[in-house]
Amino acid sequence: MKLDGDGQLLRIYLGEQDKTGHQPLYEAIVLKAREMGLAGATVLRGPMGFGAHSRLHTAKILRLSEDLPVLIEIVDQEEKITAFLPILDQMLGDGLVTVEQVRVIRYRGGS
């Protein structure tokens, strides 16, 4: 796969403990993005953060949280990101979703 030029960056902020059924929500989102042929997805786990409820989540020893922040980043063409948004909306309960315009310098996948 080749992707150059204008694209979009989809960012999904949620908690590590968010689930859909018995599956972690971040895993379900990444698998759905793959199923829909998006260019790629990366899941990042944050050591500290807070969200809409202002509850602090941290990996510090004295305040160990079992619900650390998780960020999923997906970059692809605008059409593919736009097509993914309604499906994401059905999957996501609490969380934050942002979309930014990006310029893809290089993306090459093997055949």
- 11-15, 94-98, 102-106: lowest mean pLDDT where? 102-106
Angle between helices 25-35 and 78-91 (to 10 degrees): 140
35: which DSSP letter?
A: H
First to last CA, the chain: 7
**pLDDT per residue as tens digits for the range 34-88:** 999 999 999 999 888 877 777 777 766 555 557 789 999 999 999 999 999 999 9
User: What is the pLDDT at residue 97?
Assistant: 97
Please report the DSSP string for 52-94 in residue order: TT---EE--GGG--SS-EEEEEEEE-HHHHHHHHHHHHHH-SS
Count of H-run helices and E-run strands, the chain? 2, 8
Q: Kindly list the structural domains of the chain, giving each domain's residue range(s) and its CATH number in brackets, ordered by start.
A: 5-104 (3.30.70.120)
